[in-house]
Amino acid sequence: MSALQKIAVFDLDGTLAETAGDLIGTLNVLLGQEGLPDLPLAEARAMIGAGAKALIRRGFEAAGAELSPARHERLFADFLEHYGAHLCDHSHLYPGVVAALDRLAADGFRLAVCTNKVEAHAVDLLALLGIADRFSAICGRATFPYSKPDPRHITLTIARAEGDPARAVMVGDSRADIDAAKAAGIPVVAVTFGYTDTPVAELGPDRVISHFSELPGAVGALVPHT
């Protein structure tokens, strides 16, 4: 038997936690600084999932504003500063997260986070949400030279957590999560309540769940028990 443990790797935004209020709130601060109107949360929610730079680009496109590379970089720095001070004003775990993590840990899984969020923000947010210490690794956009949908973001996260890639599963909410897991040869469970402009069932995950109470069963069906 491998000395490495089986492992469940989680996306963060839209998977473990509802973070749209704080992310879109920060985006709207930037839009306001540029004299542009706020984007409604319901409209902007699907723009989340590929990291802050992509969120800024999508937000400004939706507002009909051009964004030069230099301006984009400046706004990205502004975003990180403001968001870092407002990580958990409105964010919260989805129902059933803690119980599902407890169940997977009891079943012998290591747990890790692989997110396109900046690593420091991911660590701080998970600490504020009270679950940071449950994860063997918390890896963000700049932790490695690669980020989702590059499969190496997931495989390197698994290695850092000392998990067994042959007994791994990814849990996410977006095309980036699903495509990265598929490219890595890792089964993927998609949640229906996250951030995506396409219903996740249409993106080809191995399982789809609508509540975290369904996660242990879905993971158990995909990962060998040995």
pLDDT at 2: 53
Please check whether residue 195 is in contact with residue 33, taking contact to mean a CB–CB distance below 8 angstroms.
Answer: no
C-alpha–C-alpha distance, residues 47 and 4, integer Å:
36
The lowest-confidence range among 11-25, 42-56, 134-148, 210-224 is 42-56
Q: What is the dihedral angle through the alpha carbons of 196, 197, 200, 203, rounded to the nearest 10 degrees?
A: -120
**Percentage helix, strand, coil for the chain under 3-state DSSP, each rounded to 5:** 45, 15, 35
pLDDT at 41: 93
Q: Amino acid identity of 224?
A: P
Percentage of the chain lying above the pLDDT 70 cut: 99
CATH code given to domain 5-18+91-222:
3.40.50.1000
| Partners of 114 in the β-ladder | 139
Cβ neighbours, 10 Å, residue 183: 15
224: its two tokens: 């060998």
Q: Is 160 helix (H, G, I), strand (E, B) or coil?
A: helix
Residue 1 has pLDDT above 50, yes or no: no
Please check whether residue 193 is in contact with residue 172, taking contact to mean a CB–CB distance below 8 angstroms.
Answer: no
Domain ranges of the chain: 5-18+91-222, 20-84
Q: How confident is the model at residue 226 (pLDDT cuts 50, 70, 90)?
A: low
Residue whose tokens read 């879109």: 24
- Are β-strands 207-209 and 92-93 bridged in parallel, bridged antiparallel, or unpaired? unpaired
Q: How confident is the model at residue 178 (pLDDT cuts 50, 70, 90)?
A: very high
Give the count of alpha carbons within 13 A of 32, CB side only: 8
Q: Is 117 helix (H, G, I), strand (E, B) or coil?
A: coil
What does the pLDDT look like over 97-144, one tens digit per residue? Answer: 999 999 999 999 999 999 999 999 999 999 999 999 999 999 999 999
pLDDT at 186: 98
Better-predicted residue by pLDDT, 2 or 133: 133
165: its two tokens: 């890639």
Percentage of the chain lying above the pLDDT 90 cut: 88
Q: What are phi and psi of 139, to 5 degrees?
A: -120, 130
Helix (H) or strand (E) holding 80: helix 69-84
Provide mean pLDDT across the span 194-221.
Answer: 96
13 is catalytic: no
C-alpha–C-alpha distance, residues 52 and 50, integer Å:
7
Helix (H) or strand (E) holding 125: helix 119-128
pLDDT at 50: 78
CATH code given to domain 20-84:
1.10.150.240
- Selecting among 11, 13, 22, 173, the annotated active-site residue is 11
Q: Amino acid identity of 133?
A: D
C-alpha–C-alpha distance, residues 86 and 37, integer Å:
20
